[in-house]
Amino acid sequence: MLKHALRVMQVFRPKLLHCVPLQTLSIRGPLFTSIPVSYFSTTLPKHKKLEMPALSPTMETGNIQKYLKKVGDPITAGDVLCEVETDKATVGFEMQDEGFLAQILVPEGSKGVKVGQLVAVIVPKQSDVASFANYKDSSSQQCSAASKPAAQPQQSSTPQRAQPAATGGAFPKHSKLGLPALSPTMEKGNLMKWLVKEGDRISPGDVICEIETDKATVGFEVQEDGYIAKLMVPAGSKDIKLGTILAISTPKKDNVPSFTNYTLEGAAAAAQTTQAQPPQQQQQQQQTITNETPVQTVSQSGQRIFASPLAKEFAKINNVPLEYVKGTGIDGSIVKKDVERFLSSGSKPEVQQQQQVITPPQQQQTQAPSQEQPAQQTPPPAQAKQQTKPAAASKPVAIEGNPYVDTELTNMRLTIAARLLESKTTIPHYYLTMTVTMDKVLKVREELNKLQKVKISVNDFIIKASALALKDVPQANSQWHGTYIRKFANADISIAVATDAGLITPIVFNAGSKGLGTIASTVKELADKAKANKLKPQEFIGGTFTISNLGMFGIDQFIAVINPPQSAILAVGKTSKRFVPDEHGQPKVESQMDVTLSCDHRVVDGAVGAQWLQRFKYYIEDPNTLLL
């Protein structure tokens, strides 16, 4: 009887696979009336597979550093499942669903996890977690294949290699190289020059063209091997939006001729003629597109803000500037919960006031003016940038007999104008001036330069003294972020460098830990790069304090405009010999220098600014303290 029952089960096995996990059948046969048979089905409770997302536009694989959740833990939208090391940085894999973590399929510490690879499984009910105790990736693939038998013929009928065609049809395997965000505040760029031509081989790290951003002219580095198949945008093109396809690359040189007449419209038509891709591939492509056209998440100062894609989208919908949101994710990154907490704290009206400048004129006329909300009259940087354009385009009245030349504004100059306008209209500046004696610095500098290959300048002493003073008075090493003040541990000193294109501020990171010789060589290298428009974004984006030195131009004293979101900037004049009374009241000659500290009164109180200048004076007048 038992053998007969087992034979019946084998006959009906294909149908049993679609039943619930545990059932009892009543099988009737000629030798028995009814025998209960229990079996386990391959169908699992309702669940969702979590695949490795593309956490950066160029990410192909990632390393799972650490899980922040364990099996059985509840998950809500905005929670970070694990830390993933991408090709750019270590970021959090943020959840967009609610449920319970049923199984972790890729262990902690795994490296080279491909984008789209199954990482974990979540279920809507905690009682379903136990059903996935022995769940494996391979079995899940078999289960999905069994539940969709029609998918196999479609995959098998899809050609292994698309036929190349000049017009219509599918093109060989290729990648679209879109214009990336080469600076945090970049919205568009100008393609200055192509450094490759069609058919050239490219490797990771190669620069294929020069792009003028709102900050500087930087190179567009590719992250893949292959050949340039088609240049889609000619050199000299201006105001190219982010994500615009600049070029096409293909892994094989033989494929290059197939793209001679390639157009984006033709490629889209060819894609419609091909069969639909599997859902998993469609999801991967959707993630790639989403990451290649990032939502602007940059503070008004241009400092980069780390936020998850879900947080970016949620903040965009609710008109929340992310620079005002305090992040609680990995390394202070912003997740969706942080944006929700910001809105629930009652700060939303303040954000709406700042966004009011983009309200249509018809609606603005119906709103009552308020003298208690001056922030409404100050446009954000992006709007200020747009407002500078009509002024640039307007033609002034020519003075008869006086020839003139109109110079078109570069993106960098437009950004400088917007940033300065923002700083002077939104930051409550105040200024403190102090005179310092430079005799000892000049003497020590002369002695050190006899030993150093790289000559040390007075400015290098100022950088070092400023960094040590910031360590002693950390309130001055802080930033205003709307609802909180961020205080930094390290002093990243921005150095104002004048170039033909405008002012740029490369950074000496953690200057307090560097020696004078290292600072001197770093500043020289950064200045040379700045004047040659070769600075990389990471070399001039950020900074916690700025120094502007016009002493070499013979300027005795001046005041500088704060570089937001920083809270202070030091303006340095020239060193000159002056008569001062000695301890006996007799005149003597000293080398003196005037420095003026511009402070943001929201962050740095007057007493704090004075304390910082006292510490700066202490270090600069006793340079031996800088050598410790």
Q: Could you give the CA distance from residue 78 to residue 89 in angstroms, rounded to a whole number? A: 19
Q: Could you give the CA distance from residue 113 to residue 116 in angstroms, rounded to a whole number? A: 9
Q: What is each CA distance from 80 to 92, 101, 337, 465, 573, in whole angstroms? A: 6, 12, 10, 41, 50
How many CB atoms sit inside 10 A of residue 453's CB?
A: 8
User: Helix, strand, or coil here: 442?
Assistant: helix
Annotated active-site residue in 73, 200, 439, 605: 605
Q: For residue 118, give both structure tokens.
A: 């199954």
Greatest Cα-to-Cα distance within the chain, rounded to the nearest angstrom: 128
Q: What is each CA distance from 238 to 188, 189, 191, 241, 607, in whole angstroms? A: 8, 6, 6, 9, 48
The closest alpha carbon to 605, from 426, 476, 506, belongs to: 476
Buried b (16+ CB within 10 A) or exposed e, 394-407: eeeeeeeeeeeeee
Q: What is each CA distance from 270 to 85, 168, 275, 347, 409, in whole angstroms? A: 36, 5, 10, 49, 41
Q: Could you give the CA distance from residue 339 to residue 583 in angstroms, rounded to a whole number? A: 61
How many CB atoms sit inside 10 A of residue 12's CB?
A: 12
User: Helix, strand, or coil here: 103?
Assistant: strand
Q: Could you give the CA distance from residue 328 to residue 144 in angstroms, rounded to a whole number? A: 37
* Cα of 465 vs its chain's centroid, Å: 31
| Catalytic site includes residue 605 | yes
- To the nearest 10 degrees (0 to 180), the angle between helices 439-449 and 458-472 is 120
At residue 213, what is the residue type?
A: T
Q: Give the chain's length.
A: 628
Output the DSSP codes for 463-525.
Answer: HHHHHHHHHH-GGGSEEE-SS-EEE-SS--EEE-EEETTEEE--EETTGGGS-HHHHHHHHHH
Q: Could you give the CA distance from residue 75 to residue 21 in angstroms, rounded to a whole number? A: 24
How many CB atoms sit inside 10 A of residue 606's CB?
A: 11
| DSSP letter (8 states) at residue 547 | E
Do 621 and 605 form a contact (C-beta atoms < 8 A)? no
At residue 66, what is the residue type?
A: K
The gap between the terminal CA atoms of the chain, to the nearest Å, is 92
**What is the CB-side half-sphere exposure of residue 236 using CA atoms within 13 A?**
1
Q: Could you give the CA distance from residue 466 to residue 612 in angstroms, rounded to a whole number? A: 9
Spell out the long-range contacts of 415-420 with Cβ–Cβ below 8 A and sequence spacing 24 or more: 415/185, 415/214, 415/215, 415/302, 415/381, 415/385, 416/502, 416/503, 417/384, 417/385, 417/388, 418/381, 418/382, 418/384, 418/385, 418/388, 419/301, 419/302, 419/381, 419/563, 419/564, 420/561
Active-site residue set: 601, 605
